[in-house]
Amino acid sequence: MNQEAKPRAFVVTVSDSASRGEREDLSGPAVRHELENLSCIVLEILLVPDEVEKIKECLIDCCNLQDIHLVVTTGGTGLSPRDVTPQATATVIEREVPGMAELMRIEGMKHTKKAALSRALVGIRGDTLIINLPGSVKGVKESLSSLQTVLPHALEVISGNSIRCGD
């Protein structure tokens, strides 16, 4: 990959109702918008139900594709019994990046103390960064905003400095 290549990403919306077509997915398009503002190329927004195996399969499939630098999930990071995105993510990542998840929670708590209830994870599988975000548009924007200064560097380092984002 040349020096000017931009990070390629998938967005995964985790929602029972959106995956069944019963509710419009608003958070996935919000993630796309925020990532495109960071100069990422979002290839697709995928919809999966709140099921560990379906989420795992989707994450693995995305990470196994060539030149995928980032997979961002939205939804399933809370405390309800159906919120299983972090459990699925934990089984597919090889290395956790706890500081990024902590940064999202710390910055989120400046807006709402409920951000402390997020169980979101950030980790690496192969050379792909996986980030869990909340399922609300507001949470997506606040979380990605909190990462805007570290995300470009993280992607560059993980890829061996072969991509550029945030320019």
pLDDT of residue 5: 83
User: What residues contact 121, with CB distance under 8 A and at least 6 apart?
Assistant: 86, 89, 90, 93, 96, 101, 130, 132
Listed by start position, the domains of the chain span: 8-158
Please state the pTM of the whole predicted model: 0.94
Q: What is the pLDDT of residues 20-43, one digit of tens each?
A: 999 999 999 999 999 999 999 999
pLDDT category of residue 166 using cuts at 50, 70 and 90: low
CATH node for 8-158: 3.40.980.10
DSSP-assigned states of every residue in 36-48: HHTT-EEEEEEEE
Is 137 a residue whose pLDDT tops 60? Answer: yes
